[in-house]
């Protein structure tokens, strides 16, 4: 794995979606909280003070909200992977990403505070799952 040091950290991106394996979970919108770490070399951006030399985190927030609010998925793992894949395709400066996707108070029979997954990917690893499935 690439040694990643510089990063942009986005925490608490609150949005809604309809993800889950049961009809009960998908019957109404649920709250999702997403934390994203974007690993990239920030040296040039720090020198130039130019947004063009980094990744615009406002755009990333919009991207995340569109994906979470988009097509319903059974697994939050799938949603996090879709976020990762999209970010690697859109932002060529991106070397790696860490996504923590929290599902707040899932709409299931047994009530609990929430569930979360953490997904870490580096460029080159982002699409391996799709390659294996296509064979």
Q: CA 75, CA 19: separation in Å to the nearest integer?
A: 7
Radius of gyration of the chain (CA): 16
Q: CA 131, CA 123: separation in Å to the nearest integer?
A: 14
Is residue 111 part of the annotated active site? The answer reads no
**Under a CB-based contact definition with an 8 Å cutoff, are residues 40 and 94 in contact?**
yes
Q: CA 73, CA 75: separation in Å to the nearest integer?
A: 6
If you write DSSP's letter for every residue of 49-61 in order, what string do you get?
--GGGS--HHHHH
Give the relative orientation of helices 76-90 and 57-68 as an angle to the nearest 10 degrees. 140
Which one is catalytic: 7, 47, 66, 103?
Answer: 103
**Under a CB-based contact definition with an 8 Å cutoff, are residues 37 and 49 in contact?**
no
Active-site residue numbers?
103
């Amino acid at each position: 794995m690439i040694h990643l040091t510089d990063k942009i950290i986005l925490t608490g991106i609150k949005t809604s979606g309809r993800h889950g394996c049961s009809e009960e979970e998908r019957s109404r919108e649920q709250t999702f909280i997403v934390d994203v770490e974007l690993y990239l070399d920030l040296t040039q951006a720090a020198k130039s003070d130019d947004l063009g030399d980094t990744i615009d985190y406002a755009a990333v927030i919009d991207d995340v909200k569109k994906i979470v609010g988009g097509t319903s998925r059974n697994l939050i793992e799938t949603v996090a992977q879709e976020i990762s894949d999209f970010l690697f395709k859109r932002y060529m400066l991106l070397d790696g990403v860490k996504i923590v996707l929290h599902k707040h108070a899932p709409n299931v029979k047994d009530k609990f505070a929430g569930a979360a997954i953490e997904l870490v990917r580096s460029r080159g690893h982002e699409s391996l799952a799709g390659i294996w499935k296509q064979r």
